[in-house]
Amino acid sequence: MTGGILKKPLIGDNGQEQNDSKLIRFVTFNVNGVRTLFQYQPFSRMNESLKQVFNYFDTDVITFQELKIERSVIQKWGQVDGFYSFISLPISKKGYSGVGCWIRKYPVGHPLHHFMKVVKAEEGITGYLKIKLDKQRTTRYRDDPNINIGGYYDILSEEDALTIDSQGRCVIVELSCNLIIFSTYCPANSTKTEEGEIFRMRFLKVLFGRIRNLERMGKRVILMGDLNVCRDLIDSAELLDQANIKIENGINDMSKIYYPIYKNFILNPETPHRRILNQLLTDSLIPECSKDGILIDSTRFIQGRHRLKMYTVWNTLKNTRPSNFGSRIDFILISDKWKDKIRNSNILPEVMGSDHCPVFTDMSFAIQEINCAPKSDVKIPKFEASFKYNLLNHNILTMFSATSNKKRSISCSSSSSTSSSITDITNNSNSVLHSSANNLSKRIKSNSRANTIDSFFTTEKSVGSKTKKTTKTIYPNQSRATSDLIISEPTSKGNIQKQKLTFKDIFGEPPKCKHGEETVLKTSKSSNNPGRRFWTCNRPRGSVNDNESSCGFFQWV
């Protein structure tokens, strides 16, 4: 797997690779639209194959958030060779949110075959959603002990619970090794409304409450995904700036120096979501929070508190990724009782394709405990994408072939019918009408041939005696907006010079910013000055203490 992000082998004290344990990798990635991912390297070379993506990450368990897909295209993402697929989509909003979790299938005879086998799976966090048992019967997850995972946290009415689970935000999978994986995309309340905050807190309370219940039942839990919460002050560049805290090299633990500020950041009554997340963590900075914690932040556990600017999301509109001015809201939180199994964990900021970056964690399991996994065969859960979305009896190639044949059949039938009608007319008409009918038949056939894939690439326009032919090449890596552009006629050199002169005449020479560099022209999108042009520093936004980032220069045109 050339160019992939491979697991590092386990090395013993003798310097030799260990054979008495196996590594299992977990990856979380908010892709912000799974189709968009394939517009970036190295994924653009993978023919929209999720299997190739998963192999690139060398992962055993992977979760994507913000799939932004609809049921009509679920076949493409719901059947991945060699993986169990579990996908939750919003009930009402199309092309919004959506979470997927894929578990690698190991062949019979492989040490991890039974250990990684999926035994149960659920959609949502409340258990009130329904699952289809067969063609006639459905049931709520919580009502059938044969399919439910349990541990339900009942603080909501059924109506409120169904609202919580209506946005396609969580997939829960139980493996035979006594592990329960929560793949989540938690609400953010970006609009800062009271209603949004109530929804967010209800979701987090039910989610965290259920995780606690499952741990009490003796299960081991991994919570992975975009939690949309910064757990610590060092996890937000913007909030560090607001607190006037400058990141300095050589400081082992900034929280000890600025502890009162850190404590207020976590316990601030205006941000209760941050407090309840810290109450879930055994490694919270605040003792009153960590005393009841049950999960550990695997990435911080490996990287330590001295690792700063370890961000997982950046503001795309402000182009803050180049200066690494972001925040960390993507986590892989693991049962504290399994923290001794964590071997490696890190962010992957070099992987493009989204405003987020992936996060991975490698865990080591001894062969002895792997061999203790139950050996009984279990049925694949009804929530597996093949069953839930009825993909078993559908093949994508067959579907397209059938559609194509149907179109050809209709086209032939139409042409045949038209030709037949024309023939009937011409039998009772003169030769001139007969000739016209033949021409009409040819035009009909020509039109049906034009409705092929070639017509998307080449079009001909006849204007008077001149014929202009415009060819559009669509590159697989281009965005839709780019590929929709049509190449116009070549512009003469004189016209180009006139355009340049016109631009300078209107806007003038770019002024210099505080760095002494030419500024860039932008357009205001604010409600106060919509469409107004202004000059600003060309460097990406960053910390106020970072001389390499934007100097803040601003000047209206």
Task: Give the residues across from 365 on adjacent strands.
Answer: 22
Q: Which amino acid is at 277?
A: L
Sign of the dihedral defined by the CA atoms of residues 181, 185, 188, 189, in that order:
negative
Neighbours of 94 (CB within 10 A): 13
As a whole number of angstroms, the distance between CA 384 and CA 391 comes to 10
CA distance 298 to 336: 9
Helix H, strand E, coil C: the string for 65-88 is ECCCCCHHHHHHHHCCCCEEEEEE
CA 321 to chain centre: 17
- Range 395-398, long-range pairs (CB < 8 A, 24+ positions): 396/75, 396/76
d(CA 484, CA 363): 45
What is the three-class DSSP state of 139?
strand
Q: Is 226 marked within a binding site? A: yes
Provide φ and ψ at 53, rounded to 5°.
-65, -45
- Per the residue annotation, which of 56, 128, 141, 185 is the catalytic one? 185
Residue 1, both tokens: 């797997």
SS3 state at 17: strand
| Annotation says 306 is catalytic | no
369 is in an annotated binding site: no
Q: Is the dihedral of CA 424, 430, 431, 436 positive or negative?
A: negative
Q: Which of 356, 362, 389, 546 is catalytic?
A: 356
Structure tokens at 260: 């009162």
Listed in sequence order, the residues at least 6 apart from 505 whose beta carbon sits closer than 8 Å to its beta carbon are none
258 labelled catalytic: no
Would you tell me the crossing angle of helices 431-450 and 396-427 to the nearest 10 degrees?
Answer: 170
- Catalytic, out of 165, 226, 330, 546: 226
Q: What are phi and psi of 471, to 5 degrees?
A: -110, 130
CA 142 to chain centre: 28
The C-alpha atoms of residue 80 and residue 292 are separated, in whole angstroms, by 39
SS3 173: strand
Q: Which residues of 253-267 are buried (b: 16+ CB within 10 A; e: fewer)?
A: ebbeebeebbbebbe
In whole angstroms, what is the distance from residue 162 CA to residue 123 CA?
A: 11
Say if residue 447 carries a ligand binding annotation: no
Two tokens at 497?
């010079």
**356 is known as an active-site residue:** yes
Residues in a beta bridge with 554:
536
| One-letter amino acid for residue 417 of the chain | S
Catalytic positions: 185, 226, 356
Known binding-site residues for Mg(2+) equal: 30, 66, 226, 228, 355-356
Known binding-site residues equal: 30, 66, 226, 228, 355-356
